[in-house]
Amino acid sequence: MESGPLISIGLPLSLFIIMVGIGMTLSARDFHQVTVKPAGLILGTITQIVVMPLLAFALAWLLQLPPAMAVGLVVIAACPGGTTSNLFTLLAKGNVALSIVLTVSASLITIMTLPLFANFALKVYFGTQQDITLPLGKTVLMLSAIVLLPVALGMAIKALRPALATRAEGAVSLFGGVVLAALIIGIVYGMRDRFVDLLIQAGPATVALNILGIAVGLLCTRAAGLGHRERLAVATELGIKNGTLGLMVTLTLLHSSNMSIPSAIYGVVMFPLGFLLAAYGRHLAKARARADSGESASHPAEVG
């Protein structure tokens, strides 16, 4: 799949619409609630922005990935969560407000960190002699245009027309899923002759990255003493990535179908693992509800 008009124009436009949808789920109160107790926001942002790319470098070294696969793995690891992570947090009965703010904060920081990690990966795996690089200025401008501007636009729509924003949220999330699915299908079809070999190369790394992200989110937040709803939100943000952004970077900026494979495969494997995490979260919620009802029954209210 080469960078034709459908990719170079359609993909950024689609991502713009998706980010408007994220903005329409946000209000100033969401930021206030999370920043009052910022431990989850700080920990989630650091692990998302720094730890995940470092895990990708470690996996690329451990699994001896080809250069293009290694760079692609770093790119998807450096991507923030997307609208899908907010949905999975809701399904897992996690802290949705924290999930949304983490998505936005990581998306904004990613404007600077993603091109830095991508260029470092290009230098490590391709060397300085290769005529391939991610233009920092162009990337920052493009990411700002498809992250910062649409999120602000979405928030403005919610503030001015809350009913419209509520109705549009579901449609935008569905649109995002359809776009990602269409891109993945297109990439698989375009590489159908060698996709199995590429899947064998990149599949274990993407699955491992997904599992490690979820594990890091659960363990770090537990060590920090955060509640189970906050732990689920951070773990989901680390495990459910914005695959559309990863595809945009690799296809429209790096012009590499091979580098796009980890983002495409990750966009597939994150769904079953996300549903498992959601099931785990719902199990925790039921267990807590049973424990609370048991405590109430063992300590009935005194009369008189």
Distance of CA 205 to the CA centre of its chain: 17
Question: What is the distance between the alpha carbons of residues 137 and 33, in angstroms, rounded to a whole number?
Answer: 34
Contact present, 24 and 172 (Cβ < 8 Å):
yes
Distance of CA 2 to the CA centre of its chain: 24
Using alpha carbons only, how large is the chain's radius of gyration in Å?
20
Contact present, 251 and 257 (Cβ < 8 Å):
yes
Phi and psi torsions of 192, nearest 5° = -60, -30
The SS3 call for residue 84 is helix
Above 70 in pLDDT, residue 275? yes
pLDDT attached to residue 206: 94
pLDDT attached to residue 6: 52
Burial string for 183-221 (b: 16+ CB within 10 Å, else e) reads bbebbbeebeeebeebbebbbebbbbbbebbbebbbebb
Contact present, 250 and 191 (Cβ < 8 Å):
no
pLDDT attached to residue 295: 61
For residues 227-245, average pLDDT: 88
Above 50 in pLDDT, residue 2? no
Above 90 in pLDDT, residue 141? no
For 173-186, write each residue's pLDDT tens digit: 677 667 656 766 76
pTM: 0.75
pLDDT attached to residue 148: 73
For 49, residues 6+ apart whose C-beta sits below 8 A from its C-beta are: 78, 106, 109, 110, 113
pLDDT attached to residue 53: 95
pLDDT attached to residue 55: 96
**And the tokens for 158?**
């919610």
For 46-61, write each residue's pLDDT tens digit: 999 999 999 999 999 9
List the single range of 1-15, 223-237, 246-260, 273-287 with lowest mean pLDDT: 1-15
Contact present, 288 and 228 (Cβ < 8 Å):
yes
Domains of the chain: 5-297 (1.20.1530.20)
As a whole number, the mean pLDDT across the chain is: 79
**And the tokens for 227?**
């509640």
For 91-133, write each residue's pLDDT tens digit: 788 887 788 788 878 887 888 888 889 889 998 988 754 555 5
Question: Which of these, 111, 89, 87, 86, lies nearest to 100 by C-alpha position?
Answer: 86
For residues 6-27, average pLDDT: 69
| Sequential DSSP letters for 144-163 | IIIIIHHHHHHHHHHHH-HH
For residues 241-263, average pLDDT: 84
Question: What is the distance between the alpha carbons of residues 145 and 142, in angstroms, rounded to a whole number?
Answer: 5
**And the tokens for 140?**
């920052």
pLDDT attached to residue 299: 60
